[in-house]
Amino acid sequence: MYEGVVQDLIDELGRLPGIGPKSAQRIAFHLLATDPADIARLQEILGKVREGVRFCDICGNVSEEERCRICRDARRDPALICVVEEPKDVLAVERTREFRGRYHVLGGALDPLSGVGPDQLRIKELLARIGGEEVSEVIIATDPNTEGEATATYLVRMLRDFPGLTVTRLASGLPMGGDLEFADELTLGRALSGRRAL
């Protein structure tokens, strides 16, 4: 234990994902030795992130405006919606350059252990979108792990009553137990083009 505020800083850093006590300590002492101007810049960005970032009203992706860049882009096919868990998954799919439709970010996956049920995800918003817009196909691109698969099954059940709607799941070939974000572009691109109807 360090005295006072230094320990507070270590504790705060340690709460971030992927940072253990040792890394937290290392980062804290790095910050203590850093040029004040650099610290000020970091402070400013952290402040802005809280105030400035919002989520797209339509798809739930991070956005600087009411609607995100993709939802505003008239060249993107509104009939095609790719459903992902997190904003970082949007980036992963975008990197493949295989997808010309729009997105829907759920904000996670069904995970009863962490208290996440359908109510905690943006599923109602998805259903409303499909009911209202001219959507013809929904591609479910949740992570290929236990929680992602369960979420996909749930969505398929909710979506099968929409007449004329095609629901597809990313083709297998993605490593099981994985994270969409970490799938390489080629694999993910192939999974997109080879998606199967459910």
Q: By CB under 8 A, name the binding residues for other proteins.
A: 20, 110-113, 115, 117-119, 145-147, 149-150, 153-154, 157, 175-177
Binding-site partner at residue 59 among other proteins, Zn ion, none, CB < 5 to 8 Å by type: Zn ion
- Cα distance between residue 25 and residue 4, in whole Å: 14
Q: Does 58 bind Zn ion (CB under 5 A)?
A: yes
Binding-site partner at residue 71 among other proteins, Zn ion, none, CB < 5 to 8 Å by type: Zn ion
Q: Does 68 bind Zn ion (CB under 5 A)?
A: yes
Q: Does 105 bind Zn ion (CB under 5 A)?
A: no
In the complex with Zn ion, the residue whose CB is nearer, 69 or 196, is 69
* β-pair partners for 84: 105
Question: Residue 132: which residues within 8 A CB-CB, separation 6 or more?
Answer: none
Binding-site partner at residue 5 among Zn ion, other proteins, none, CB < 5 to 8 Å by type: none
Nearest-approach distance from CB 117 to other proteins, in angstroms: 6
Q: Does 56 bind Zn ion (CB under 5 A)?
A: yes
Question: Residue 70: which residues within 8 A CB-CB, separation 6 or more?
Answer: 59, 61, 76, 90, 102, 103
Which residue, chain included where needed, has tokens 């009863």?
112
User: CA separation (Å) from 25 to 2, 21, 45, 118, 168?
Assistant: 10, 6, 22, 38, 46
Which residues contact Zn ion by CB under 5 A?
56, 58-59, 61, 68, 71
